[in-house]
Amino acid sequence: MAQFINAKENLVTEAIEGTLRTSGGKLARLDGYPHIKVVVRADWDKSKVALVSGGGAGHEPAHVGFVGEGMLTAAVCGDVFASPSVDAVLAGILAVTGPAGCLLIVKNYTGDRLNFGLAAERARAFGLRVEMVIVADDIALPDVPQARGVAGTLFVHKIAGALAQAGENLDVVTKSALEVIENVASIGMSLDTCTVPGSPKEDRIEVGKAELGLGIHGESGIEVIDFVSARDAMGVVIDRLASQVKSGPKVALLNNLGGATPLEMAVLAEELMLSNIGSDICCMVGPAPLMTSLDMRGFSVSLLPVDADALALLRSPVGPHAWPLCLDTNPVEVKAIPDGLAPIKPIPSQNPQVAEFITKCCDIFIEAEVVLNGLDAKSGDGDTGSTLAGASRALKGAVDLLPLADHTQLYRAIGLELSQTMGGSSGVLLAIFFSAVGDASSSGQTMVEAFKSGMKRVQEVGGANIGDRTMIDALAPALEALPNGLAAAASAARAGADHTAKITKAKAGRASYISEDRLIGHNDPGAEAVALLFENLAD
C-alpha cells in the first residue's frame, strides 16, 4: 500500500515540522536535524520540574503530541521504531532542565533504556538533577523479567505532568510516576500488522485471526486467537487484564493502535463498558489514538486503579490537544422519540395467496443480495443488495401483521414497513413507491395504473427519468408491458436493465459521481433488482 510520505529518510523530520507548524506556536524544536529531533515547549522557562520522554517515531501522537502545559516538556524522537541517540536525549535534557531538575519517562525497550540511561548519566555530570523512570505496563508476557512499555505510559505523562505543573518537586513527581508504573497494566490486540514505511508489509495475521498481546513495534503477539466479534475481542483482553490490577475504581485508557476506524473504536468503548469490569471504570481516556503502532488495525486497553487524588490529576486541564480528556463514564441517557413517528398500525388480515406472493418476492431479493451488492460496488457503495435483502427479511417476518386482505391498505402498510426498515436510496424510493401506489389504489385506479402512479411519484421525488441509469429504466418498461402478462414484463425489465450497462453517464444516485469508464459494462443494481424480480416471478 502506498503511503503519504516523500522519502523514508525525511519522514520523521517532515512530520515534526508539520506538527510544529500547526501547534499554534506552542511548540518549538532544537536545531539539530537530522540526528537531533527534539520538540520542546516554546514557552518553557525552566522554573519547574521538566518531563522528558520519547522514543522511536511511529507512535504518534506520542510523544510530540503530548508536549505542552501539564504534560511533557520535551519529546526526543528517533526514526521509525528506533530509539533516539544519547546525544539527542542529552540535548533534550539540557534544553529544558533548570534548578528543579528533570524526570525522564522511558518505555521499557532496551534501546530506549540504554540511550536515555546514558544521557541521564551525562546530564548528571553537568550538575543537573535527573531522575529516570521506566514504564513496563504490558502484561502480555507474564514470564518475561521486564515487561514492555506501551500505552499505559500516557498515565505517567499525565499524572507526573500535572504534579510538575503544580510546582511539586522532583522527588514528589518521581514518586508519583513510580506509583503509576507499579499499578498500571495494558494489553493490545490487532487484526493486522503495521506497515513500516519503506518496507513491504508483513502479512502475518491471517484473515479471521487476531493477535493478542503485541508490542507497539510490529512485534508479533503472544497468542493468535480466532477473531469472532468486538465483544469477544474485548472479553479476551479484559480477561487478561482484570487479574493484573487492583480491585476498585479504575480509569481505562482505550488506545487506537493506528488503523482501527473511529467507528470500530466506539464499538470497543461500548464493549469495554459492558465488560465484567465495566462497572469499575469510573473514567475513560479515549477512545483515541494515543500510543499507536503506525497503521496497526488494533487497540489496547490500559487500566489504572485510582483514588480521588490520582483522578484529580488525570482530569486537570492540559495544553496538548492530543490528550482526549479523562471523562466520567455514565449510563446512556435515552429520551423519548417525538410524537408523530409511531405509525398507526393497520389491522392485520389473512390472505394466504398474498402472503405467499410477498414471501416469494422477498426471497428473490434475499437470494440476489450478493449479486446486487457486487453491482453497487461498481457504481456506488456496495450495499443495494444488503439494503433490499434486509428489508425483505423484515417484511417476511412481518407478513402476518399486514392487512393482507385489503390491497389498498396493504400497499400503504408495505410502504410504512419499508420506510422503517430500509435505509439507502433504494429503500426510501420503494417506500415512496408503495405509499403512492396505496394512495392511487384507494382512488380507484387499477393495479397497473396504481403502480405507474407509484413510479411517477418516485420520479417526481427522486428526479430520475428513463435513461438516467436507475431502477426506473427497468421498472418503466416492465409496467408498460405488464398488461400483457408477467413474462412480457420480465423481458421488458431485462432489456431495460441490460441497457443500463451501456449508459455511461448516470444522472441520479451515487453512480452520477462515478467516471464513465468505471460504469460501462455493468448493470445498474436497482434496475437489475427490478429485472430479477420480474424474471423470477414469471418463472
- CB 518 within 8 Å of CB 378: yes
Binding mask 368-407 for Mg ion (x = CB under 5 A): --------x---xx-xx-----------------------
Q: Which does 509 bind (CB under 5 to 8 A by kind): Mg ion, ligand ADP, none?
A: ligand ADP
Smallest distance from the beta carbon of 372 to Mg ion, in angstroms? Answer: 9
Q: Where are the beta strands (DSSP E) in 317-446?
A: 326-328
The residue among 135 and 429 lying less far from ligand ADP, judged by its C-beta, is 429
The DSSP secondary-structure symbol of 505 reads: S
Among 176, 293, 425, 491, binds ligand ADP (CB under 6 A): 425
The residue among 92 and 427 lying less far from ligand ADP, judged by its C-beta, is 427
Spatial distance between the Cα atoms of 370 and 198, rounded to a whole number of angstroms? 37
Q: Is 137 in the site for ligand ADP (CB under 6 A)?
A: no
Smallest distance from the beta carbon of 476 to ligand ADP, in angstroms? Answer: 11
List 59, 63, 157, 217, catalytic entry:
217
Q: Is 527 in the site for ligand ADP (CB under 6 A)?
A: yes
Q: Is 426 in the site for ligand ADP (CB under 6 A)?
A: yes
Q: Which of 264, 134, 244 is nearest to 185 (CA)?
A: 244
Residue with cell 483522578: 311
> Candidates 65-73, 312-320, 462-470, 513-521 — which segment interacts with ligand ADP by CB under 6 A?
462-470
Q: Is 526 in the site for ligand ADP (CB under 6 A)?
A: yes
The residue among 149 and 424 lying less far from ligand ADP, judged by its C-beta, is 424
Run of H or E residues at 5: none
Smallest distance from the beta carbon of 468 to Mg ion, in angstroms? Answer: 16
Indicate the residue type of 502: K
Burial of 393 (0-12, 13-18, 19+ CB in 10 A): middle
**Which strands, in side-by-side order, build the sheet including 281-288?**
223-226, 209-212, 185-190, 298-305, 250-256, 281-288, 326-328
Smallest distance from the beta carbon of 481 to ligand ADP, in angstroms? Answer: 19
CA 70 to chain centre: 28
Q: Is 508 in the site for ligand ADP (CB under 6 A)?
A: yes
Q: What is the 3-class SS of 131-173, one letter each residue?
A: EEEEECCECCCCCCCCCCCCCCHHHHHHHHHHHHHCCCCHHHH
> Candidates 43-51, 55-63, 167-175, 502-510 — which segment interacts with ligand ADP by CB under 6 A?
502-510
**By CB under 6 A, how many residues form the interface with ligand ADP?**
25
Q: Which does 456 bind (CB under 5 to 8 A by kind): ligand ADP, Mg ion, none?
A: none
The residue among 425 and 453 lying less far from ligand ADP, judged by its C-beta, is 425
Q: Which does 426 bind (CB under 5 to 8 A by kind): Mg ion, ligand ADP, none?
A: ligand ADP
Residue 189: φ, ψ to 5°? -140, 145
The DSSP secondary-structure symbol of 214 reads: -
Q: Which does 286 bind (CB under 5 to 8 A by kind): Mg ion, ligand ADP, none?
A: none
Per 3-state DSSP, the chain is made up of helix, strand and coil in percentages (nearest 5) of 45, 15, 35
Question: Quick check: is 217 catalytic?
Answer: yes
Q: Which does 70 bind (CB under 5 to 8 A by kind): ligand ADP, Mg ion, none?
A: none
The residue among 55 and 525 lying less far from Mg ion, judged by its C-beta, is 525
Smallest distance from the beta carbon of 430 to ligand ADP, in angstroms? Answer: 9
Q: Residue number with the shortest CB distance to Mg ion? A: 380
Cα angle 110, 113, 115 (rounded to 5 degrees) comes to 105
Q: Which does 180 bind (CB under 5 to 8 A by kind): Mg ion, ligand ADP, none?
A: none
- CB 162 within 8 Å of CB 316: yes
The residues that bridge with 106 in the sheet, in sequence order, are 134
The residues that bridge with 283 in the sheet, in sequence order, are 251, 328
Q: Is 93 in the site for ligand ADP (CB under 6 A)?
A: no
Residue with cell 533548570: 98
Indicate the residue type of 336: A
Q: Is 168 in the site for Mg ion (CB under 5 A)?
A: no
Residues 6+ apart with CB under 8 A from 480: 492
- Footprint of Mg ion (CB under 5 A): 376, 380-381, 383-384
The catalytic residue positions are: 217
Interacting residues with ligand ADP (CB under 6 A): 376, 380-381, 383-384, 387, 424-427, 429, 458, 462-464, 470-472, 508-510, 524-527
